[in-house]
Amino acid sequence: MEFERAAALKAAPLVDPFGRAITYVRVSVTDRCDFRCVYCMSEHMTFLPRKDLLTLEELDRLCSAFVARGTRKLRITGGEPLVRHDLMKLFRALSRHLVSGALEELTLTTNGSLLAKKAHALKAAGLKRITVSLDSLDDDVFMKMNDVDFPVTRVLEGIDAAAAAGLAPIKINMVVKRGVNDASVAAMARHFRGSGHILRFIEYMDVGHTNGWRMDDVVTAREIIERIDRELPLEPLDPNYPGEVAERWRYRDGSGEIGVIASVTQAFCRSCTRIRLSTEGKLYTCLFATTGHDLRALLRGGASDEELRAAVSGVWSKRADRYSEIRTSQTARLPKIEMSYIGG
């Protein structure tokens, strides 16, 4: 009975002209970050004035509009979301959609720097699971990558605090860049094997302009799997659901699972169910889109909830992008939006 009531509350997802449903929204709550990961942000980044950021109430209204239009999963990201001071209030507000059954997943991606301090508050605010980014266990490599000398131990403490708070299973994301941290792949696999956390390796992508991306820097998902399999034998797993972005593998000795996200070498535009809300309320239908749809103007112009929902439907019903399927060395030079702004 409870289940039927919840199912009845779920709106049917919107479908674009290619038949792709919008079920997953990634929301950037700040463009600021306490790290300067060299593959993501430049040390000379300028940030938006605070008045341009969506307020808590605006974020809540827009997220609720997505949920009303069939979104099943909300991921809060940035920038570094945990640097935003009123974030717990946002989670407390959004978790009502979990309670009603309209939303299936409310989650967060973080660099882990503030996680040891905030893990319990996140759990209390209604969060079920989190994803933590960690690119190496080697301090020299990690500090060079985060560019602010942040040590590995403090991220590991954050991961432990999240596990103790019950934010599980925890996903650990490692972006692999050739010649920078690819020597850390096997050590990361060994460290997290048997922990219950799911380590996922992400191909280095051509997002933004500040990272000077080149195809030669990409370590392919195939190569990553081969390297781990040589030491820790692996076997493939079925996806958890159709269109899952990470390809799943498990250790043959039963000590856990890993994933690879082949965003560059195996484009998944065809099954993409994502939409992104930028820090200042622009809606982007692709990580590689160059223009967004200004929802903040609608909000601040006095639009009703119904008008907001109609605007979301209007954007999705015209969605045509499939950047990763047409990626070439030429497209890498096209104008792009930085990941910290659009939401990683």
* Chain contacts with ligand SAM (rule: CB under 6 A): 33, 39-40, 77-78, 80, 109-111, 133, 173, 175, 202, 204-205, 207, 211, 339-340, 344
Phi, psi (5° rounding) for residue 199? -85, 130
Q: How far is the CB of 82 from ligand SAM (least distance, A)?
A: 8
**Closest CB to ligand SAM among 80 and 257?**
80
**Closest CB to ligand SAM among 125 and 202?**
202
For 335, other C-beta atoms within 10 Å of its C-beta total 8
Residue nearest to ligand SAM (CB): 344
Q: How far is the CB of 339 from ligand SAM (least distance, A)?
A: 4
How far apart CA 14 and CA 84 sit, in angstroms, is: 30
**Closest CB to ligand SAM among 68 and 175?**
175
CA-to-CA separations, 263 to 39, 105, 141, in angstroms, rounded: 15, 22, 23
329 contact partners, CB below 8 Å, separation of at least 6: 215
Q: How far is the CB of 15 from ligand SAM (least distance, A)?
A: 27
How many alpha carbons lie under 13 Å from residue 77 in its C-beta half-sphere?
21
Asked if 172 and 198 touch (Cβ cutoff 8 Å), the reply is: yes
Q: Give the CA dihedral 235, 241, 245, 246, nearest 10 degrees.
A: -30
With tokens 């000077």, the residue in question is 212
**Closest CB to ligand SAM among 287 and 312?**
287
**Closest CB to ligand SAM among 69 and 324?**
324
With tokens 């709106």, the residue in question is 11
Residue 77 pairs in a beta bridge with 28
Q: How far is the CB of 217 from ligand SAM (least distance, A)?
A: 10
Q: How far is the CB of 128 from ligand SAM (least distance, A)?
A: 17
Instruction: Take residue 19 and report the two structure tokens written for it.
Output: 């038949």
CA-to-CA separations, 2 to 5, 99, 105, in angstroms, rounded: 5, 11, 18
**Closest CB to ligand SAM among 211 and 273?**
211
Q: How far is the CB of 205 from ligand SAM (least distance, A)?
A: 4
Q: How far is the CB of 162 from ligand SAM (least distance, A)?
A: 13
**Closest CB to ligand SAM among 165 and 175?**
175
How far apart CA 78 and CA 30 sit, in angstroms, is: 5
| Burial (CB count within 10 angstroms: exposed 0-12, middle 13-18, buried 19+), residue 252 | exposed
**Closest CB to ligand SAM among 101 and 244?**
244
Q: How far is the CB of 37 from ligand SAM (least distance, A)?
A: 6
